[in-house]
Amino acid sequence: MQLISLEFAFFFLAVLCLVWIARARAGSHGQILRLVLLGASYAFYTSFNAGFALLLLAVSVLTWGAGRVLAVQSSPLARKATVGAYLAGVLGQLCFFKYYGLASELSGMLPELTLALPVGVSFFSFQGIGCV
């Protein structure tokens, strides 16, 4: 769905109505409002490619999980290990999508995959890193 399209205009109006209703029922700090915005964001991202939405979901869950684990850990060593594992996961998927084609071409030993680069993969990966 492109930003300059009739489809996006109808999607935007539907989301605007849902946000309006959620704010009226739950106030500006309600969890319902956040869930509506999260659902709308995933729906918009899914309109590009449903498979990429799974990647976004994986990075989101990984970021949320790392934040939850860091919130309860008091040991500096355990916190460093958690951040290290989180960074390995998020940066690993980013490097895979960005550089697998180059590595496959240069080495000749990796199978050639035709991977499309997910829309905004760098953005949401680094946003997640910033949250943790």
pLDDT of the residue at 80: 96
pLDDT of the residue at 128: 93
What b/e sequence results for 8-44 when a residue is b if at least 16 CB atoms lie within 10 Å of its CB, and e otherwise? eeebeeebeebeeebeeeeeeeeeebeebeeebeeeb
Say which residue, 14 or 50, is predicted with more confidence. Answer: 14
Q: What is the pLDDT of residues 64-122, one digit of tens each?
A: 999 999 999 999 999 999 999 999 999 999 999 898 888 888 988 888 888 788 888 99
